Structure 1
Amino acid sequence: MSSLDDKINEHFAGYVVRKDLVKAVKGNAIVPTYVLEYLLGQYCATDDEASIQSGIETVKDILRKHYVHRNEAGLIQSTIKEKGRYKVIDQISVSLNEKTDSYEAVFDNLGIKKVAVDSGTVKAHPKLLVTSVWCIADVQYEFAEDARTSPWVLETIKPIQIARVDYDGYKEARGQFSKDEWIDLLMQSIGFDPEAFGRRSKLLQLMRLIPFVERNYNIIELGPKGTGKSHIYSEFSPHGQLISGGEVTIPKLFVNNSNGRIGLVGYWDVVAFDEFAGREKTANKALVDIMKNYMANKTFSRGVNPMGAEASFAFVGNTDHNVPYMLKNSDLFEALPPQFHDSAFIDRLHAYLPGWEIDVIRGEMFTSGYGFIVDYLAEILRHLRQEDFSNRPDQHFRVSEKVSTRDRDAIYKTMSGMLKVIFPAGGESAEDVEELLQLAMESRKRVKDQLFRIDATYPEVDFYYSGSDGEKRYIQTVEEQEFPQFYNQKPTPNSMQRSDEKTQISDDVIESTVERRASEPAQDSVARPLKDGHFTYAENRKGISFDKLFGPYTDGATRIVITDPYVRKPYQIRTMMEFVEMIVRRKKPEDQISIHLVTGPHDGEVQRQRELLESITEACTGTGVDFTWALDTTGTAHARDISTDTGWKIVLDRGLDIYQPPIRRDGFSLGDRLQEHRMLKGFYVTYVRQ
């Protein structure tokens, strides 16, 4: 176990589980993660390997005996009949039979209906009336001569969730962890290995938890397939309900006028709409109008008395195009159905989570470390919904007064949610608040900037905040920095056409365009005057290469000295090789250039480090580049800069290690081949003429 795992077990004994155990017990049982972890928490909440293995076998045995597979429903029904009573794990829903004035349950997998349920059970678990709930239930079989009487009886029922949570103990234990340790614990709790994610990527993952801690919070995430957008809403919490975006109706979501029964928003903390995107989809306009009213006012009405609810909405869907295409030709909401591609609906979204920044989920990204039993964490998050942390940032910063009330509310709700998740007991510093405030403002700015594209009547707003010094600090989205040529332009009417509207282009137009582009010089080949300057690059941004960062400033140099104490690990040494390759590509064949690296030793791996650095020296033979290196064993070299004999000094806070570490996998990746397709770490670079 890691030191973090030891710490987790020390302070949260009985409430954590090793996350890789879920796969070990799941087998072919189609049950949510919180169901399995509930059982694992009962029998495997320990760090003793022998006890864990024994607990795994116990959980497997419980699932084998009591989990109902649909293809074995007949066998289980027979078992209940022969034994008279049997315990099953199944999804159960309840409805009122008005003809008999009684409640009747339906067992989804077991395939039995009209199971008698007493009123006390329904009062204790009202969610059963709205949708199916995973439960452990005792079912009886009592045959009656009256054919109208069902032989099935629900004797006892226990929804699969933790009964009681010590919230004060949770906040107290939080104080034993640093901010970074706590973020890593939360990442492990949702099943991911923190080492596979950068800081910003971790925060984006945790943003998915905000609907669980904030009442009436509306978030949208659009991005490529396979990034785990819906996982958190389907597997993470028994208080969230994931539904298909095209299958929801007004009675199911809000209220049924025929019987006055409230829908999903009245019983669930989070209602998530899966597969929400799709321009070919259609939606009921009346549903959209009620949703807009609810998202804005927390109330809804269908011609009767207004009703209120506190369910948060999460909308997740796949995009059809990449970000620059959307920015150039339409907007970042282009994938939404026409009825939802509406400025009034979009304006009610508190945050737009950029799904294109989240990598496709792969097996090596999952953790084998310890994390909270998801049901325990779900109960904690539900408790936090009662609190309001939205004013805590005001102790350190002031948001621009030019933003609208709706913008301000959105920013503060996102801030409140992130503070609840990461700092439930307070104690955050001004630096911590600023990091989260920037993310919250960016998430709302992404919505507002796209609104201006969709509807020109929305005013442009400067998103900035100021600290105690009064200095204005402006917010930019990552895609705004990466594609400024598209982000700030308003698409023309011709470019706003949907991609499914085919545009005919004549052959002569295509030919003339190709000829024109061929005659234009490449952007990187245009000589630009070199100037001193300081530039900051956001984490998760792409499109940056050594050619763009260093190429013009190293041209003409005959000696380049790189001081970077952290060219140690294999991927960092590979990055050093890529710098050398850049110099080889740019120099004239007849030129001779020397490159000297000063770095620190890699403890425990010095021999391997030496071999890899020496291989760069050998690779340069005959190229006109002479690569040498030296290890600073004194530990006094802390600077990270590149100096040239032409008088330029390039200072980097991260040295050459500006890219997020690659994740090993089979096959090919553009990020392995082209630097422009790699995600950056957050860093700055300063150019100084000496």
Structure 2
Amino acid sequence: MTDSNSNEATNDVLLDKLIKTLPGKFVRKDLTNRIKEGANVPTYVLEYLLGMYANSTDEAQIERGVENVKKTLANNYVRPDEAEKVKSKIRELGSYTVIDKLTVHLNEHADRYEALFSNLGIDGVPVDSRYPQDFERLLGGGIWSIVRLRYAYDENNKNESPFVVDSLTPIQVADLNMPEVYKARSEFTTDEWTDLILRTIGMEPTQFSKREKWLFLARLIPFVENNYNVVELGPRGTGKSHVYKELSPNSILVSGGQTTVANLFYNMGRRQVGLVGMWDIVAFDEVAGITFKDKDGVQIMKDYMASGSFARGKDEIQASAAMVFVGNINQSIDVVMRTSNLFEPFPEVMATDSAFLDRIHAYIPGWEIPKYKPSFFTKGYGLITDYFAEIMRELRKQSFSDAIDKYFKLGGQLNQRDTIAVRKTTSGMLKLLYPNGEYGKPEVQEALEFALELRRRVKEQLKKIGGMEFFDINFSYIDNETFEEHYVSVPEQGSNSLIPEGTEKPGQVYTVTYDKNERLSLFKIETQMIAGNGKFEKTGISGNHKASEAMDTAYKYLKANSKSVSSSISLTTHDYVVNAVNLNNSEMTSRLSLATYIALVSISMSKSTLDSLVILGEHTIGGSLVKLDNLADTLQVALDSGAKKILIPNTSAADLGSVPSELLGAFTVIFYDSIEDAAFKALGVK
């Protein structure tokens, strides 16, 4: 770090307040990056050591401390490629101190606890029973620790490990004075405290907008809220999994891949609670790869996410770990919103299970966080990471979820799960920003609107996946004083219109119907007409026989009845090419007759259909109209696609009573009672 950078950090107003309010509890964050390049250990391990040796603002003392940390890591941190050298040191010196990640298990055959050293690569090392009793997380996932190992080879017990744990000190802050934290918070403005949190997690706040800062804070809600379920999907390189791996010794990151009920929830053989009982957060990296060996794995996860408990055998097990799911979205968000849904990266067993997805309290829009670059990492001062982790852990013991009630009521479209989710997110944001509880109406309102957005994002996708069951997505809150109702939307919903505004070319029409997998989708028909002798070609249907039959039905009907529409239509002197495309996915449908018929009429008469129109219905070769299935869901897909006008057969008029008034009111509804009538009204011909 240059002198100029050092002066910038020293003159920072946050540093002045840190020196005054939390002496000895902060560290210069660029030191972590300097050392981390040479040691693959979590941030909280490095800052634990920096807190011991380099907790100062004096440049000379800092440099001496950094050298001490480097020396400690060089001498004691076990690199996997130097494991044999360290084992030799333990043998030759008789005992030696190492820094490594330990996992302890009970060897029931020998009736003792034994440790596995991750980097040192030794297993079966006897451990005094007081350590797993005092530090339960040793039994699941492991803890980074400073360990004094002794070498005691026994000629008579050659099968025993010669290594023995003499002392074990988990790398975590020993003392925490929350009143000191509350008092310190009152010395900072909200903006300053926000910036301090960002610097604590290693980010430079001057590089980000307020919106981006809040998205960073949202990643921390699982650290302060029990049983909080959150998803963040977005591009690579935005640090989605970083905080869950590096920020706290109280969270564990499970790399995407196969897991088991025993590992995650409860081991029936050992009668031992899994990761959810030992960690504050269980985060899943690369969600696309999550699989359970057990058939009931997803069901048990659903039960746990809903209630914080699960049944194994005769036991009902309670736990408080938050569940975090992070992964990548590789397409632009506009493409994803048009063609699929925001949960598509999940494995199919989860992505299609609306009951599982409904248990997610918040969806962080990872695509709004910019990809990391060097200037994003701070050179200023922040709290020691492990100290901040313990603050967040202490905040789990209180709840601010009732803060909403003093000022606001939640709107009528929020169900019980929505309400729980919004309260949890609001509580989490208030804890992070106002741990001392000193907040008022504007602060609650801001957190509430943010919480409503994160939950509505979940419901918007559930509406796409699960249909009318999740229709109520118009989230709002009501001011207790003015009774004014405020509605909250999600930013990306404005960009998903598949049907453009304005007039389409003649021969282009839209219809909503079921594809071959019985999924409602938006289909676009495009038609070309050239001089010829009556040839009719179909493209885009990928050899789908039923789709081809439906198009042929439309063409043959028009050929036989064209004069009832217009005498100018002459199918024998033109060739037609009709292309069909599913704008929501790649699957085709067999229900294209009416849309194809109107597209042929449109291009034959060189007349466009009405703006933003979706055509609903189907007909037979004899001219009979087919009644629509599931009108409410069909209209919802049309609305999501950008339709403003709907062409509906009179035979479906009776079904309009099943459509919510808000949905029906979004359209101009046009009824038709024959195939020809449908064509006239679609073209706006009286």
TM-score clears 0.5: yes
Alpha carbons of 1:504 and 1:7: their partners in 2 closer, same or farther (altered >3 Å)? farther
C-alpha distance in 1, partners of 2:63/2:579?
Answer: 66
Partner of 2:673: none
Is residue 129 of structure 2 the alignment partner of residue 154 of structure 1? no
Is residue 56 of structure 2 the alignment partner of residue 46 of structure 1? yes
C-alpha distance in 2, partners of 1:407/1:329?
Answer: 26
Alpha carbons of 1:292 and 1:465: their partners in 2 closer, same or farther (altered >3 Å)? same
Alpha carbons of 1:520 and 1:240: their partners in 2 closer, same or farther (altered >3 Å)? farther
C-alpha distance in 1, partners of 2:500/2:128?
Answer: 60
Partner of 2:271: 260
Is residue 287 of structure 2 the alignment partner of residue 276 of structure 1? yes
Choose from 370, 381, 386 the match for 1:370. Answer: 381
C-alpha distance in 1, partners of 2:461/2:153?
Answer: 63
C-alpha distance in 2, partners of 1:329/1:427?
Answer: 45
C-alpha distance in 2, partners of 1:124/1:447?
Answer: 39
Mapping for residues 637-648 of structure 1, pairs under 5 Å:
none
Partner of 2:370: 359
Residue pair 2:258, 2:292 contacting (<8 A) in 1 also: no
Report the 3-state secondary structure (helix = DSSP H, G, I; strand = E; otherwise coil) of the residue aligned with 2:69. Answer: helix
Mapping for residues 323-338 of structure 1, pairs under 5 Å:
323-338=333-348
Choose from 455, 469, 476 the match for 2:489. Answer: 476
C-alpha distance in 1, partners of 2:520/2:258?
Answer: 27
The superposition leaves residues 295-324 of structure 1 with CA deviations (integer Å, 9 ceiling, x where unpaired) of 001111123311110000000011132222
Q: CA deviation at 1:181?
A: 0.5
Alpha carbons of 1:275 and 1:232: their partners in 2 closer, same or farther (altered >3 Å)? same
Partner of 1:679: none
C-alpha distance in 1, partners of 2:159/2:398?
Answer: 50
The letter for the 1-side match of 2:334 is P
Q: CA deviation at 1:376?
A: 0.4
Q: CA deviation at 1:201?
A: 0.7
**Between the two proteins, what is the percent identity of the paired residues?**
43
Report the 3-state secondary structure (helix = DSSP H, G, I; strand = E; otherwise coil) of the residue aligned with 1:29. Answer: coil
Mapping for residues 229-268 of structure 1, pairs under 5 Å:
229-268=240-279
Residue correspondences, number:
515
Choose from 416, 424, 437 the match for 1:413. Answer: 424
C-alpha distance in 1, partners of 2:61/2:361?
Answer: 46
Q: CA deviation at 1:482?
A: 3.9
Q: CA deviation at 1:282?
A: 7.5
C-alpha distance in 2, partners of 1:224/1:331?
Answer: 15
Partner of 1:454: 465
C-alpha distance in 2, partners of 1:137/1:97?
Answer: 20
C-alpha distance in 2, partners of 1:400/1:14?
Answer: 46
Partner of 1:228: 239
Where structure 2 has 5 or more consecutive residues not aligned to the other structure, the ranges are 1-8, 502-509, 522-539, 544-575, 583-601, 609-686
Partner of 2:350: 340
Partner of 2:131: 121
Partner of 1:672: none
Residue pair 2:541, 2:581 contacting (<8 A) in 1 also: no
The superposition leaves residues 252-291 of structure 1 with CA deviations (integer Å, 9 ceiling, x where unpaired) of 0001111211100010000000001369x77754110000
Choose from 310, 313, 324 the match for 2:320. Answer: 310
Is residue 388 of structure 2 the alignment partner of residue 388 of structure 1? no
Mean Cα deviation higher: 24-33 or 409-418:
24-33
C-alpha distance in 2, partners of 1:118/1:221?
Answer: 40
C-alpha distance in 1, partners of 2:413/2:293?
Answer: 35
The letter for the 2-side match of 1:470 is F
Residue pair 1:282, 1:338 contacting (<8 A) in 2 also: no
Q: CA deviation at 1:402?
A: 3.4
Report the 3-state secondary structure (helix = DSSP H, G, I; strand = E; otherwise coil) of the residue aligned with 2:167. Answer: strand
Partner of 2:443: 432
Is residue 476 of structure 2 the alignment partner of residue 464 of structure 1? yes
Q: CA deviation at 1:127?
A: 1.4
C-alpha distance in 2, partners of 1:228/1:491?
Answer: 39
C-alpha distance in 2, partners of 1:512/1:353?
Answer: 32
The superposition leaves residues 568-594 of structure 1 with CA deviations (integer Å, 9 ceiling, x where unpaired) of xxxxxxxxxxxxxxxxxxxxxxxxxxx
Residue pair 1:453, 1:491 contacting (<8 A) in 2 also: no
Partner of 2:189: 178
Q: CA deviation at 1:331?
A: 1.4
C-alpha distance in 2, partners of 1:19/1:396?
Answer: 39
Report the 3-state secondary structure (helix = DSSP H, G, I; strand = E; otherwise coil) of the residue aligned with 2:51. Answer: helix
Mapping for residues 658-677 of structure 1, pairs under 5 Å:
none
Q: CA deviation at 1:492?
A: 5.6
Q: CA deviation at 1:457?
A: 4.0
Q: TM-score, normalised by structure 1?
A: 0.71
The letter for the 2-side match of 1:422 is L
Alpha carbons of 1:46 and 1:510: their partners in 2 closer, same or farther (altered >3 Å)? farther
The letter for the 2-side match of 1:201 is E
Q: CA deviation at 1:103?
A: 1.3
Is residue 106 of structure 2 the alignment partner of residue 89 of structure 1? no
Alpha carbons of 1:512 and 1:359: their partners in 2 closer, same or farther (altered >3 Å)? closer
Q: CA deviation at 1:202?
A: 0.4
Choose from 35, 44, 56 the match for 2:45. Answer: 35
Is residue 15 of structure 2 the alignment partner of residue 5 of structure 1? yes
Is residue 179 of structure 2 the alignment partner of residue 165 of structure 1? no
Residue pair 2:47, 2:384 contacting (<8 A) in 1 also: yes
Partner of 2:657: none
Partner of 1:99: 109
Where structure 1 has 5 or more consecutive residues not aligned to the other structure, the ranges are 522-690
The superposition leaves residues 543-573 of structure 1 with CA deviations (integer Å, 9 ceiling, x where unpaired) of xxxxxxxxxxxxxxxxxxxxxxxxxxxxxxx
Is residue 149 of structure 2 the alignment partner of residue 139 of structure 1? yes
Residue pair 1:277, 1:316 contacting (<8 A) in 2 also: no
Partner of 1:191: 202
Partner of 1:533: none
Say which one has the larger Rg.
2
Residue pair 1:183, 1:422 contacting (<8 A) in 2 also: yes
The letter for the 1-side match of 2:399 is D
Mapping for residues 541-620 of structure 1, pairs under 5 Å:
none
Residue pair 2:259, 2:292 contacting (<8 A) in 1 also: no
Q: CA deviation at 1:8?
A: 2.4
The superposition leaves residues 320-361 of structure 1 with CA deviations (integer Å, 9 ceiling, x where unpaired) of 322222222221111211111110000000001111111111
The letter for the 2-side match of 1:171 is Y
Q: CA deviation at 1:487?
A: 13
The superposition leaves residues 170-199 of structure 1 with CA deviations (integer Å, 9 ceiling, x where unpaired) of 011000000000001001111111011100
Alpha carbons of 1:32 and 1:321: their partners in 2 closer, same or farther (altered >3 Å)? same
Q: CA deviation at 1:509?
A: 5.6
Q: CA deviation at 1:26?
A: 2.1
Mean Cα deviation higher: 226-235 or 430-439:
430-439
Alpha carbons of 1:211 and 1:102: their partners in 2 closer, same or farther (altered >3 Å)? same
C-alpha distance in 2, partners of 1:479/1:175?
Answer: 36
Report the 3-state secondary structure (helix = DSSP H, G, I; strand = E; otherwise coil) of the residue aligned with 2:315. Answer: coil
The superposition leaves residues 492-551 of structure 1 with CA deviations (integer Å, 9 ceiling, x where unpaired) of 6449699xxxx76699667999xx99x999xxxxxxxxxxxxxxxxxxxxxxxxxxxxxx
Report the 3-state secondary structure (helix = DSSP H, G, I; strand = E; otherwise coil) of the residue aligned with 2:414. Answer: coil
Q: TM-score, normalised by structure 2?
A: 0.71
C-alpha distance in 2, partners of 1:225/1:115?
Answer: 39
Report the 3-state secondary structure (helix = DSSP H, G, I; strand = E; otherwise coil) of the residue aligned with 2:259. Answer: coil
Report the 3-state secondary structure (helix = DSSP H, G, I; strand = E; otherwise coil) of the residue aligned with 2:345. Answer: coil
Choose from 88, 110, 118 the match for 1:78. Answer: 88
The superposition leaves residues 595-643 of structure 1 with CA deviations (integer Å, 9 ceiling, x where unpaired) of xxxxxxxxxxxxxxxxxxxxxxxxxxxxxxxxxxxxxxxxxxxxxxxxx
Q: CA deviation at 1:5?
A: 2.5
The superposition leaves residues 4-32 of structure 1 with CA deviations (integer Å, 9 ceiling, x where unpaired) of 22222332211111110012222331100
Q: CA deviation at 1:148?
A: 3.0
Residue pair 1:285, 1:339 contacting (<8 A) in 2 also: no
C-alpha distance in 1, partners of 2:272/2:292?
Answer: 26
